[in-house]
Amino acid sequence: MAEEEEIAGILPELIQLRQHLHKHPELSGREVATARHLEAFLQKYRPTRLLKELGGTPGITGTGLAAVWEGTAEGPTIMFRADIDALPIPEKNAFAYASQNSGISHKCGHDGHAAMVAGLAPLLHRHKPARGRIVLFMQPAEETGEGASALLGDPQFKDLKPDYIFGLHNLPGYPLGQLVLREGTFCAASRGLRIVLTGGTAHAAEPEQGLSPAGALAQLLQTLPFLPGKLPHRELLLLTLTHAQMGEPSFGISPGQAMLQATLRANLEEEMTALSQAVEAQIRAVAREYGLEVDLSYHEVFPVTQNSAEVYAILRNAAAASGLSVHTKEEPFRWSEDFGHYNKLAPSGFFGIGSGTGQPNLHNASYDFPDALLPYGLQMYRALIREVLG
């Protein structure tokens, strides 16, 4: 049977899987029903073994899954990763498989990512790997930047000892099925910084009895966004203020506390480190100047997602062999992925795949992963398997 026909044969089942996941979306770290459904799907295709409840923390059961198909001979281990979490965005679509979980929906297409990786299972069931082994794994909590780290902290997961890890993201705005490749940084690192400045409240009639953080807040609002421009950098370096809050919404109290949130973004880890250090020093200097206490914390920390020269060659060769159209991107994407963490475990390759030029953007309330994209992802995955295992 020709490869395309074979994929077409399993497509109805994959569409059903994708739409089931879409209908029952779950937030990051709570993908319990999602994992159970995917586990049942994978088990049907008799993996050599299936690891579940991966990536837990003390007291919390993980929702990661990994299904392993062993080859008959020795050889490299390839892992394919799908993220499976949904977003806290109410669904605007009215189709039959629209989200049944109020306020939650798959607006980043992770339902499609999961169906594409799971779609390799029936194919691996029919064609056992000639050598090495192939692992299909489902990663929770990508949106919060916590899932990849959680799996990497799980000894069972690390023991899979992969030689390569691959992942993808669907890309609205690019032609359906077009592969988007880039050597080096594919998408930026980002991290949220929360700054809490504490002085003292007072009655609004006697502000001099307290210590308002207003002046310090103003100075940070004015200086922080320009700090990246003052640091030497070769690639994108950006600080965006996202939120500020000072005092309560009343007229009677001179506030004693202010909170400021900013997102730092960089294409190179060393430039992110330099920016973080400069930002922290600036904040502490301003707090000192105004006599305020300061508390800094980082949230939603995403690393740079990077394709090494070796992995990029594999991606490029597989893409050429896949027969799909290929776009080589000039600049990295500015958004972030927690896939970059996997480079700590093994050479990891990440690519984009167009989900159509007319598609609503990711995170848009009308977005829906196009089922027509499922076969294209599988084509590239099979090309990657052939490229690595021969």
- Nearest Cα to 299, choosing from 333, 262, 266, 272? 262
Among 176, 196, 218, 321, binds its own copies (CB under 8 A): 218
Positions of E strands within the chain: 49-54, 64-70, 73-83, 131-139, 164-171, 179-181, 184-187, 189-198, 202-203, 237-246, 253-254, 257-266, 293-302, 305-307, 326-328, 348-354
Among 263, 282, 317, 325, binds its own copies (CB under 8 A): 263
Is residue 94 packed enough to be buried (19+ CB in 10 Å), middle (13-18) or exposed (0-12)? exposed
- Report phi then psi at 194, rounded to 5: -110, 125
Residues 6 or more apart whose Cβ sits within 8 Å of residue 46: 125
User: Taking a C-beta distance cutoff of 8 angstroms, is the pair 62, 160 a contact?
Assistant: no
* Rg over CA atoms, the chain: 23
79: left (phi over 0), alpha (psi -120 to 50) or beta: beta
Tokens (6 digits) for 339: 């896939």
Among 61, 72, 242, 273, binds its own copies (CB under 8 A): 242
- Determine, following the binding rule CB under 8 A, whether residue 27 of this chain makes contact with its own copies: no
Among 5, 222, 330, 390, binds its own copies (CB under 8 A): 222
Cα 17 from Cα 40, distance rounded (Å): 11
For its own copies, give the closer residue by CB, 218 or 274.
Answer: 218
Binding range to its own copies, per CB under 8 A, among 28-36, 199-207, 305-313, 338-346 = 199-207
- Determine, following the binding rule CB under 8 A, whether residue 206 of this chain makes contact with its own copies: yes
390: β partners: none
Q: How far is the CB of 69 from its own copies (least distance, A)?
A: 37
- Determine, following the binding rule CB under 8 A, whether residue 360 of this chain makes contact with its own copies: no
Cα 65 from Cα 60, distance rounded (Å): 15
- Determine, following the binding rule CB under 8 A, whether residue 50 of this chain makes contact with its own copies: no
- Determine, following the binding rule CB under 8 A, whether residue 219 of this chain makes contact with its own copies: yes
Cα 297 from Cα 279, distance rounded (Å): 12
- Determine, following the binding rule CB under 8 A, whether residue 296 of this chain makes contact with its own copies: no
Mask: binding to its own copies, 303-342, rule CB under 8 A, as x and -? -------------------------------xx-------
- Count of residues in contact with its own copies, rule CB under 8 A: 44
For its own copies, give the closer residue by CB, 162 or 256.
Answer: 256
Among 15, 33, 98, 204, binds its own copies (CB under 8 A): 204
- Determine, following the binding rule CB under 8 A, whether residue 46 of this chain makes contact with its own copies: no
For its own copies, give the closer residue by CB, 102 or 251.
Answer: 251
- Report phi then psi at 149, rounded to 5: -60, -40
In the region spanning residues 104 to 143, those forming contacts with its own copies, defined by CB under 8 A, are none
Q: How far is the CB of 332 from its own copies (least distance, A)?
A: 11
- Determine, following the binding rule CB under 8 A, whether residue 214 of this chain makes contact with its own copies: yes
- Determine, following the binding rule CB under 8 A, whether residue 297 of this chain makes contact with its own copies: no
Residues 6 or more apart whose Cβ sits within 8 Å of residue 63: 29, 30, 31, 32, 34, 35, 53, 54, 55, 84, 140
Q: How far is the CB of 212 from its own copies (least distance, A)?
A: 7
For its own copies, give the closer residue by CB, 48 or 245.
Answer: 245
Residues at the contact surface with its own copies, assessed by CB under 8 A: 188, 190, 192, 203-207, 212, 214-215, 217-219, 221-222, 225, 238, 240-255, 258-259, 261-263, 265, 299-300, 334-335
